[in-house]
């Protein structure tokens, strides 16, 4: 009698961190190809726990939706996108890389005072929910402009300031932008569907143990361009729960 093959489906984000993510999974025995093409890639029982894996690349913002709806059993997603989309998933592991500050920034010379003096400042961001929470707490009326390229939005006059994840400070220096405040930090999480059965959960616990056993050093801190050295500390206006959701401080 043939035993039915047990499979776990894993979604990996097509993001700047993909190569580092793939390297850590390869260190756990996953024989992964280059994930530059769509489609499922079969990996045969890399953990020796009776489960084979189907791995596929996905747009970073979509990973949580696929996992929440059990199209994929598990995936990798950053907390900024998890908090923005509000998906309900289990987050058993934090990767040692992919940690970046979430900042409110504007062209040099702008300040909170100059933004608040406008009848309705325009804020470019890929995180409209976060932006609304931040400015609602301040009592400021803003127009949130939902775009992915926040630098261009400010450079061409679509927005007065932006909220975004700071991965590389070079464009800020090049275009003379400055951070007004650090709102929190995003991190990469292994995310898992909450309704998985016990056998699949045991297999995922084996995966988490293997990921934790890998000796991966922390990434260098990102240099945040401020006008004033006193502004380096995160402000009190948003407490970012890196294992849960963003929460406006009371």
Q: What pLDDT score does 86 carry?
A: 94
25 shares its domain with 106: no
Would you say residue 226 lies in a domain? no
CATH assignment of the domain containing 61: 3.40.190.10
Residue 168 belongs to what domain range? Answer: 100-185
pLDDT tens by residue, 107-150: 998 988 888 888 899 999 999 999 999 999 888 889 999 999 99
146: β partners: 125
Would you say residue 138 lies in a domain? yes
What average pLDDT is seen over the chain? Answer: 87
Would you say residue 241 lies in a domain? no
The Cα–Cα gap between 131 and 114 comes to: 17
16 shares its domain with 86: yes
pLDDT tens by residue, 174-219: 999 999 999 999 999 999 999 999 999 999 999 999 999 988 777 7
Would you say residue 15 lies in a domain? yes
Q: What is the pTM of this model?
A: 0.84
Is residue 228's pLDDT more than 90? no
pLDDT tens by residue, 44-70: 889 998 999 999 999 999 999 999 999
The Cα–Cα gap between 181 and 232 comes to: 7
Residue 226, both tokens: 């401020």
Would you say residue 219 lies in a domain? no
146 shares its domain with 120: yes
Domain count, the chain: 2
32 shares its domain with 143: no
């Amino acid at each position: 009698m043939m035993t039915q093959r047990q499979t776990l489906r894993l979604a990996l984000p097509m993001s700047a961190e993909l190569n580092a993510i793939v390297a850590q999974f390869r260190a756990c025995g996953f024989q992964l190809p280059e994930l530059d093409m769509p489609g499922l890639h079969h990996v045969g029982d890399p953990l020796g726990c009776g489960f084979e894996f189907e791995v596929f690349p996905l747009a970073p913002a979509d990973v949580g939706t696929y996992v929440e709806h059990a199209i994929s059993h598990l995936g990798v997603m950053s907390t900024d996108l998890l908090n923005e989309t509000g998906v309900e998933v289990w987050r058993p592991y934090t990767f040692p890389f992919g940690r970046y500050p979430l900042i409110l920034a504007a062209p040099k010379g702008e300040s909170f005072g100059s933004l608040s003096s406008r009848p309705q400042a325009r804020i470019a961001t890929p995180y409209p929910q976060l932006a609304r929470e931040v400015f609602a707490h301040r009592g400021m009326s803003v127009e949130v402009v939902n775009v992915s390229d926040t630098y261009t939005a400010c450079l061409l006059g679509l927005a007065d300031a932006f909220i975004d994840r700071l991965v590389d400070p070079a464009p800020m220096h090049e275009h003379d932008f400055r951070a007004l405040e650090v709102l929190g930090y995003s991190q990469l999480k292994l995310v898992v569907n909450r309704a998985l059965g016990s056998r699949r959960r045991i297999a995922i616990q084996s995966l988490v143990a293997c990921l934790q056993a890998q000796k991966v050093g922390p990434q260098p801190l990102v240099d945040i361009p401020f006008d004033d050295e006193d502004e380096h500390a995160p402000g009190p206006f948003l407490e970012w729960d890196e294992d849960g959701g963003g929460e406006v401080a009371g």
